[in-house]
Structure 1
């Protein structure tokens, strides 16, 4: 009876609201007028939504305004989900929130053709609302449950990171009113959510005060879509501009069904006939005033470089940077924002865009910059050239860190303007801020380094090309087609190249000039030069790399980036081995399609890589080892930033060598590279095959003359790493059969050599016997071979920019 009574009361309440209309039903509630009116019932903790735009396309976003603070989990402050186009559709007493399927369209304008496509592919109903009241063409719905949910799917992200199983606890969730606001073109609602679970992983325990209760904030946006005045521009893979993609079923069957538009802001000249004109409405980016000085000014300086590119594309004062004024709200969709974000560890920075999925028009750019990266840049700079005088920092190191921030601000803003990464810009002398730049360290005399030219100080020539393609205005479609073709033809004639993430990121990638964090046109020559820089930096290393009063043990954090200063150039040079040069060529252009890197270049690269394995390069100067004691009380081991030792409390003098050798060998003996060596050699016998590469590795390490003392132990560490890599490669189920066959053969050949090797050194003899036992165990029972996990190098990336295939939505 009690349940029936309560149901009756509820139905009566709903009927009364309906009968009163929206104005009557919301009497006494706090109204938040805007794009979609909100009504807040403070007594009941309910949020009502007035929908006066039924059957109207609206852009919907979820975001994470207050995250977890762990780069590894990825739930960072300021992240935005992919945008969805939705419609509110009414059916009797219900309103359905329906996501439109814009991946499949007919652009002909024929209604029957469009209806056929729409009915062929599913849509998604994201939520169902009950109508509480109505007035004219508007309806009022209770949106409380819609908002108080894990719409960003944070719990799933935690599970994917293997940090535990968590679920929403409704009793610990509420609306966050300070950031629940309404604007003329967007409606914003924010909620505080608490996820509960057990057995939280280490990344959570590191950043959450009570790891079984994770409280974050999630944000929901309904955004007005742009009007029809924007003209989409067709995508070209050579142009260096991000794109949207869809299937157009109104395409003639003799033409591609997949269509792509570039992503860009709307920008129009006041005077279309002028070669250079001010815009009708400039692109303005607003800087988070929470970024401190001198960081804020450095970032604004770097971001403002983009105006150089817009001037080259025919616009005057089209791109501007300002500090966000007190009267502006960063949540307002009309403001492009640069946000300064804190985490517990250094992490990636991002450039996101809120864009119209129908056309690619960027509505709002949002840059998220991690605050700890600049500290790592300063650490690297100070290790290279700086010395503390007492506790006063190095001015040269500070200047390099600020120079890096300028480049970083330009880079991430470039993503929000529509540009992806260009990892081939070194071919044209650092031609793009959309590359990942390694500091360029000049050698000045025998034992001196300079950072005066560590980073570029202006926008790059490639960036001007990309902005010109995306934003230059043309009088009509015919002129646009000719003009865009000319932009690409001209840059090809000048020798520019665009290659992006899929070409530069994988460890087994093949392109000889497409790398992250490298310098120079020739990666092999630059590796040899970087090794010289590294030798000078290590010879200058002293206690002055930390301020007076800092524990001596913290010198290890300063040592790591110096010792591994060659890490990215090793990766770059490894791509020459088995390398294949190619472009994003299209039929009819003048670009070289594909060719193998010559055998001479590959062998030069292999020689340079093998030089990084020599004991004389890997041993640490004795004075450095004696400077680093065990960690003092209160300074727990900083495992992310130091070498993984095997000596307990004391600094392990062999751990750096193990990490560096493992790094080189991991790239050289990568299974896809090995397969490419075999295939390329089969087509062109002048190229090295995989067997030759393995022989070179073994000759350089196991078969080189044994050394004594510290150098001898380093040599044995390297030898052990070679054996481990070969065993793992022979057992790798992802490797090609012939790769595994060659690795197995080389193990047998090494076994035969070990059986004949003689030595009077007891430590050397022990390694020979142990290696023989491992190979024999692998031959008889591969699955039972126990390989000591390698001491991997500490994290290098993130070194300041986004790493995935595009950070834009």
Structure 2
């Protein structure tokens, strides 16, 4: 193979990165270090040292941490992964938790005269060493030095050097820092307090080093007031030796969902630096390649093994193990058997070296935390995309999320959901599928939010269909509970499960191609597999990030979002009157009732949002240039019109069913009006967002499309929101709030434009549209305002006229 040069580029994860101008943690001396200047090994690593042998030998001497680095490991590629291991309460608004990764970068230890430098390496850019462009790319992508330390001593046979590594972990080094620039600003962080920052532990394993260190920052506004003006956090730095025997990369294709790594090839024949992506995956090679070629199921040389955390409660372990090994069905599609294995944690006698921190062990960690989440991170070799290790994290309080959701979305249909003590079989099945979902991430699969739209909505009411196919074709979709099923739909499945897309994606990413000698050699075969499934919605991928495709939304079910949301709201209406009975416990208050009712309102908001996305929506079908047909198609006008009709009925009419006084009188005194106003205003803001209006206006100008015009939408919306005006009826407080929100929102486009958007909106039709709507509404109110005998309603109409005049006559 042609040797590649490794070139600098950003590998930062999240918001933390390594800057080329960043000062090193300790200045290096300019003069070469003579061997006679070195201390004796015993002078540095004294008899009091606490040592741990492994990849490096780590030594604690008093309060200093020394690395004894074998000379053989100089210039070797290592992955430095920075994670948060402990955070103060409320840090990041509760969205930054223990286990969160803050950076991931490749480093090399390099000997320079009497010093050792840690350099940051990137594999994003590359060029063939023999190419004329090689020197230019090398010169323009210089590797930065993250840390430098002088050599203190050498071991007896000069096969390793000793450096003081304390400065890397006790000083503030941006590239391994746990506080992002955004949070530094939010908490008004001033500086690191070195007197309260220290190294807590260091452990060495055969393939990795793990260092935990406490960093304490002075902050004017820490997340909790009782933190004495400081933020202390525990960071974990993992340094992992990358494989010498590199896995052959596999080129990514945006038509199949995978986590990817960006690459740039400066030797491309294209008239530019050729950008491409490779997928992230475990290295699976069949033990018997000839049998594999014959189509037999073959075990991999190195299967993927997950151990359960010793802290995992015994009763949940079978469900966790099932969730892990569920993926074997998908790997069998790729020709492997027993490709993924779940194991109980070994005892000291069975494996005295077992540690969740050891990179040789992938672990499903059970974390005692109030966080309601689970995550499936992994550690990847950026040179090839090979996943080296992963730790699935299950936070204990995630059980709370699922018991609540099961009650809210299935309580109307399923008697087993009508308690907060969800039966073990049901909650266990939910946990199993959550673990399977997170393992999917750790195998390389991102969310596929488009999967759910492949199934007809009414099919989710069928026992036969749901038991065979689940709720969506992919467990990587967000479709947790079957809210489409209605009372009387017997024996349907309520919990998601693995589907046909998952098998397809795993086969595409993991099937071993023994005849291919390079990633490019595989491309024709991979393309053929995609084209064989083209046009079948079961095998389509969409990540849901655009916000414009109604078929690619989180938590949505079925191909008809209006119908699915109607089913979901019908169930909520049956649940609300029963919540007091279902959540009450003798001798206790109504905290659970308050929590479940609040979450029910969030789900109502989600159902409404699913429908809103149809308005001005665009279907996306991922294709390449060799495939016929359009990638983007506007949602048909009839569907958009039906969506607005639904919104007028369910979102912009006062939801009296949510105002159950028997329930509300137990949890609050006056918040109901504000809650409904917030929910309705949010739906209205979503419907009238700038990008949606721009798409609708553009669709009207597209030849061959019968569009649902933005004027039609505004007319339909106005008639719904202001139905009392047109029916000469009095308004209630809920509706008056919504009508004020409508006027204020339209007025904001006219007079309160954000500076960053001024130019774009001023040059679009949105300003003219909203000014015209306000003038039309003012005319209608002026002619009709006195047709009611309700004084407060008349005052309200006058107030709206004043607001409209203020917007139109006093534009900024």
Q: Normalising by structure 2, report the TM-score.
A: 0.84
Q: Is 1:462 paired with 2:481?
A: no
**1:495-644 superposed matches below 5 A:** 495-501=537-543, 504-505=544-545, 509-552=547-590, 554-589=592-627, 592-615=630-653, 617-625=655-663, 627-630=665-668
Match of 2:51 in 1: 31
Deviation for aligned residue 1:431? 0.8
Match of 2:512 in 1: 473
Deviation for aligned residue 1:444? 4.5
**1:286-365 superposed matches below 5 A:** 286-326=307-347, 327=352, 328-346=354-372, 348-365=373-390
Q: How far apart are the structure 2 equivalents of 1:229 and 1:427? A: 39
Q: How far apart are the structure 1 equivalents of 2:337 and 2:580? A: 51
Q: Which runs of 5 or more residues in structure 2 are unaligned?
A: 1-28, 456-471
Q: Secondary structure at the match of 2:599?
A: helix
Comparing 427-436 with 488-497, greater Cα deviation is found at 488-497
Q: In angstroms, what is the RMSD of aligned CA positions? A: 3.1
Deviation for aligned residue 1:473? 0.9
Is the CA contact 1:382–1:394 (under 8 Å) kept in the aligned structure 2?
A: yes
Of 174, 180, 187, which residue of structure 2 is paired with 1:156? 180
Is the CA contact 2:251–2:523 (under 8 Å) kept in the aligned structure 1?
A: no
Deviation for aligned residue 1:261? 1.3
Deviation for aligned residue 1:292? 2.7
Residues matched between the structures, number? 734
Inter-CA distance 411–319: structure 2 relative to 1 (3 Å threshold): same
Deviation for aligned residue 1:721? 2.4
Is the CA contact 2:375–2:392 (under 8 Å) kept in the aligned structure 1?
A: yes
Inter-CA distance 690–520: structure 2 relative to 1 (3 Å threshold): same
Of 156, 160, 165, which residue of structure 1 is paired with 2:189? 165
Deviation for aligned residue 1:15? 8.8
**1:667-706 superposed matches below 5 A:** 667-684=686-703, 686-704=706-724
Comparing 296-305 with 141-150, greater Cα deviation is found at 296-305
Q: How far apart are the structure 2 equivalents of 1:420 and 1:331? A: 25
Post-superposition CA distance 1:77-96 (Å, at most 9, x none): 11224422222222222222
Is the CA contact 2:452–2:479 (under 8 Å) kept in the aligned structure 1?
A: no
Deviation for aligned residue 1:560? 2.0
Is the CA contact 2:38–2:152 (under 8 Å) kept in the aligned structure 1?
A: no
Inter-CA distance 336–115: structure 2 relative to 1 (3 Å threshold): farther
Inter-CA distance 74–565: structure 2 relative to 1 (3 Å threshold): closer
Is the CA contact 1:385–1:449 (under 8 Å) kept in the aligned structure 2?
A: no
Is the CA contact 1:21–1:133 (under 8 Å) kept in the aligned structure 2?
A: yes
Q: How far apart are the structure 2 equivalents of 1:449 and 1:182? A: 57
Match of 1:741 in 2: 768
Is the CA contact 2:74–2:108 (under 8 Å) kept in the aligned structure 1?
A: yes
Q: Is 1:198 paired with 2:220?
A: yes
Post-superposition CA distance 1:371-399 (Å, at most 9, x none): 3232022123234566999xx95565665
Match of 1:787 in 2: none
Deviation for aligned residue 1:355? 0.9
Q: How far apart are the structure 1 equivalents of 2:506 and 2:152? A: 49
Post-superposition CA distance 1:9-32 (Å, at most 9, x none): x99xx9999544446632322322
Q: Which has the higher contact order (CA 8 A, sep 6+)?
A: 1
Match of 2:229 in 1: 212
Q: How far apart are the structure 2 equivalents of 1:330 and 1:710? A: 66
Deviation for aligned residue 1:774? 1.5
Post-superposition CA distance 1:341-392 (Å, at most 9, x none): 344553x432222111111111111222333232022123234566999xx9
Inter-CA distance 215–651: structure 2 relative to 1 (3 Å threshold): same
Is the CA contact 2:410–2:482 (under 8 Å) kept in the aligned structure 1?
A: no
Match of 1:5 in 2: none
Is the CA contact 1:282–1:320 (under 8 Å) kept in the aligned structure 2?
A: yes
Inter-CA distance 88–229: structure 2 relative to 1 (3 Å threshold): closer
Q: Secondary structure at the match of 2:711?
A: helix
Q: Which runs of 5 or more residues in structure 1 are unaligned?
A: 1-9, 631-649, 784-809
**1:137-286 superposed matches below 5 A:** 137-151=159-173, 152-156=176-180, 159=183, 162-177=186-201, 180-201=202-223, 204-205=224-225, 210-253=227-270, 257-274=274-291, 275=295, 276-286=297-307
Q: How far apart are the structure 2 equivalents of 1:709 and 1:95? A: 81
Q: How far apart are the structure 2 equivalents of 1:189 and 1:410? A: 30
Post-superposition CA distance 1:731-753 (Å, at most 9, x none): 34436331122112111211222
Of 114, 139, 154, which residue of structure 2 is paired with 1:134? 154
Comparing 483-492 with 294-303, greater Cα deviation is found at 294-303
Inter-CA distance 766–401: structure 2 relative to 1 (3 Å threshold): farther
Q: How far apart are the structure 1 equivalents of 2:290 and 2:720? A: 66
Inter-CA distance 714–227: structure 2 relative to 1 (3 Å threshold): same
Is the CA contact 2:265–2:275 (under 8 Å) kept in the aligned structure 1?
A: yes
Deviation for aligned residue 1:717? 2.5
Q: How far apart are the structure 2 equivalents of 1:775 and 1:331? A: 63
**1:386-465 superposed matches below 5 A:** 393=419, 399-429=425-455, 430-441=472-483, 443-445=485-487, 453-457=493-497, 459-465=498-504
Comparing 231-240 with 286-295, greater Cα deviation is found at 286-295
Inter-CA distance 532–19: structure 2 relative to 1 (3 Å threshold): closer
Q: How far apart are the structure 1 equivalents of 2:477 and 2:446? A: 9
Q: How far apart are the structure 2 equivalents of 1:352 and 1:191? A: 21
Q: How far apart are the structure 1 equivalents of 2:394 and 2:99? A: 10
Q: Secondary structure at the match of 1:244?
A: strand
Q: How far apart are the structure 1 equivalents of 2:691 and 2:536? A: 33
Is the CA contact 2:419–2:582 (under 8 Å) kept in the aligned structure 1?
A: no
Match of 1:791 in 2: none
Is the CA contact 2:281–2:385 (under 8 Å) kept in the aligned structure 1?
A: yes
Inter-CA distance 485–46: structure 2 relative to 1 (3 Å threshold): closer
Deviation for aligned residue 1:782? 4.7
Q: How far apart are the structure 2 equivalents of 1:435 and 1:384? A: 17
Deviation for aligned residue 1:728? 2.7
Q: How far apart are the structure 1 equivalents of 2:289 and 2:673? A: 66
Q: Is 1:59 paired with 2:83?
A: no
Inter-CA distance 250–626: structure 2 relative to 1 (3 Å threshold): closer
Comparing 216-225 with 49-58, greater Cα deviation is found at 49-58
Deviation for aligned residue 1:526? 1.0
Is the CA contact 1:354–1:364 (under 8 Å) kept in the aligned structure 2?
A: yes
Inter-CA distance 160–194: structure 2 relative to 1 (3 Å threshold): closer
Of 716, 719, 740, which residue of structure 1 is paired with 2:736? 716
